[in-house]
């Protein structure tokens, strides 16, 4: 049995915020190039590179330590994983939830539209279902169910069919 199981959940930011991060990276490179003319541009370039890099390289993920029966949800910046360990006994089942991330997009005609990509989240649920920990994101339901069965077998937890209530 593997000691540490690591699952990457991807970049937590919206596409618009990621675009802002890439714009910061490009402007940082331009400012550093302009530092030949004035040293004031060097500081602006370094700051833009640092903040743009944080936005673009941030990732969410989960580490499960099977020997210690602990789980850590983390966000990584420049390969440093920031998060806290908690007991795996706090979770009682595995479930596949349907999720719709909503991103607002404003067009030139001042109209707003919502982008809602459908995702299937494999997650660990707490005993009262108030606590949830995402482990994987999938675009196809069959892949999510297969992954949920693997996780349930590995952690010796039941698979529960549950969809949380959403209130507007």
Residue 26 scores a pLDDT above 90 = yes
C-alpha 30/C-alpha 23 separation (Å) is 11
- Which helix (H) or strand (E) element contains residue 131? none
**Whole-number percent of the chain with pLDDT over 70:** 84
Mean pLDDT of 45-50: 91
Phi, psi of 129 (to 5 degrees): 65, 10
Residue 32 scores a pLDDT above 50 = yes
Nearby residues of 33 by Cβ (< 8 Å), 6 or more positions away: 45
- pLDDT of the residue at 168: 40
Q: Who has greater pLDDT, 47 or 2?
A: 47
- pLDDT of the residue at 88: 85
Q: Who has greater pLDDT, 21 or 116?
A: 21
- Tokens for 55? 């936005």
- pLDDT of the residue at 22: 92
C-alpha 81/C-alpha 62 separation (Å) is 10
Q: Who has greater pLDDT, 1 or 59?
A: 59
Give the CA count within 13 Å in the CB-facing half-sphere of 127. Answer: 3
3-class secondary structure, 78? coil
The per-residue pLDDT of the chain, averaged, comes to 81
């Amino acid at each position: 049995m593997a000691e540490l199981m690591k699952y990457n959940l991807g970049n937590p930011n919206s596409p618009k915020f990621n675009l802002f991060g890439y714009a910061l990276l490009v402007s940082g490179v331009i400012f550093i190039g302009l530092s030949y003319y004035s040293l004031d541009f060097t500081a602006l370039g370094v700051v833009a590179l640092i903040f743009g890099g944080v936005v673009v390289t941030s990732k969410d993920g989960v580490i499960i330590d099977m020997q210690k029966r602990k789980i850590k949800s983390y966000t990584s910046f420049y390969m440093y994983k920031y998060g806290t360990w908690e007991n795996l006994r706090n979770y009682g089942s595995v479930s596949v939830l349907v999720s719709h991330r909503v991103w607002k997009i404003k067009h030139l005609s001042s109209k707003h539209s919502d982008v809602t990509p459908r995702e299937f989240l494999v997650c660990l649920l707490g005993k009262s279902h108030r606590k949830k920990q995402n482990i994987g994101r999938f675009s196809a339901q069959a892949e999510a169910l297969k992954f949920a069965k693997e996780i349930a077998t590995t952690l010796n937890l039941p698979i529960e069919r549950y969809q949380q209530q959403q209130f507007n």
